[in-house]
């Protein structure tokens, strides 16, 4: 990001999205992620962060509706110990409470920056789950197997950027950057904040993306943005 940048695709993890969102807000550079689905990544707090895939809040609403439909009063939650897992399950708990259901037990697995749960840790968690009364389990964690449906969102992310940039230039937009004195004063640790510039057309490009009326391979991308 020390080179002039107008948009970034990524990151994959919600944890990193929280960190980078503060930086892109200052630089007015768009950050589009198709896998960071943490429901606490609000548009008001992070206006330049765009969720291409639906927020976990929508997923948890659907799961809570299914649980209520089948009359399951209690469920067990297995999730990763990071922002993605914690906030997703927190959203599920809220949705269940609205339907007079609840999470009776939470099994937490190690998450980033740790390497991940070992086989022994997974077995230990499952043994504890097996001792619980409820037999309905909601798993909210990462998976490296099976069809990666986020690939479709990745395709749409690139497609959205291309169309928005085209509209940006058609409206007379130009690529220019300016210095931000606030960044020069900040202590960025490993980040060389003084070398970063603000994208002057960031707000206009953001508006062009949010006004995108076209459909992608997963539907209307704009319906997921800022969820």
**pLDDT, tens digit only, all 227 positions of the chain:** 556 788 888 777 777 888 888 888 888 888 888 778 888 887 777 888 887 777 888 889 999 999 998 899 999 998 888 888 888 999 999 999 999 999 999 988 876 555 566 777 777 877 788 788 777 888 887 654 222 444 445 555 666 777 777 788 888 888 888 877 666 565 555 566 666 778 888 888 888 877 766 544 444 444 444 44
**CA gyration radius for the chain?**
20
Across 175-202, b (16+ Cβ under 10 Å) vs e yields eebeebeebeeeeeeeeebeebbbbebb
- With 0.75 as the threshold, say if the pTM is over it: no
Q: 34 near 163, Cβ under 8 Å?
A: no
Q: Compute the distance between CA of residue 15 and CA of residue 13 in angstroms, rounded to an integer.
A: 5
Residue 81, φ and ψ in degrees, nearest 5: -85, 70
Torsion of CA 26, 31, 37, 38, to 10 degrees: -10
Domains assigned to the chain: 7-55+148-223 (3.40.50.2300), 56-140 (3.40.50.2300)
């Amino acid at each position: 990001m020390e080179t002039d940048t107008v948009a970034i695709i990524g990151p994959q993890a919600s944890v990193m999205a929280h960190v980078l969102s503060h930086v892109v807000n200052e630089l007015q550079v768009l950050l589009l992620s198709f896998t960071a689905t943490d429901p606490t990544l609000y548009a008001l707090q992070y206006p330049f962060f765009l969720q291409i895939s639906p927020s976990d809040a929508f997923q948890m609403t659907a799961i809570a509706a299914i649980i209520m439909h089948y009359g399951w009063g209690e469920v067990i939650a297995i999730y990763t110990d990071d922002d993605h897992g914690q906030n997703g399950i927190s959203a599920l708990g809220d949705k269940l409470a609205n339907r007079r259901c609840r999470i009776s037990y939470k099994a937490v697995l190690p998450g980033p920056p740790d390497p991940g749960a070992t086989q022994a840790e997974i077995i230990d968690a499952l043994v504890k789950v097996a001792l619980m009364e409820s037999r309905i389990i909601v798993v909210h964690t990462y998976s490296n197997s099976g069809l990666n449906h986020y690939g479709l969102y990745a395709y749409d992310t690139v497609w959205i950027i291309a169309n928005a940039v085209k509209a940006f230039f058609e409206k007379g937009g130009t690529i220019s950057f300016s210095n931000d004195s606030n960044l020069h004063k900040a202590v960025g640790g490993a980040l060389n904040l003084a070398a970063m510039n603000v994208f002057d057309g960031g707000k206009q490009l953001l508006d062009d993306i949010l006004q995108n009326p076209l459909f992608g391979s997963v539907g209307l991308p704009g319906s997921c943005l800022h969820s």
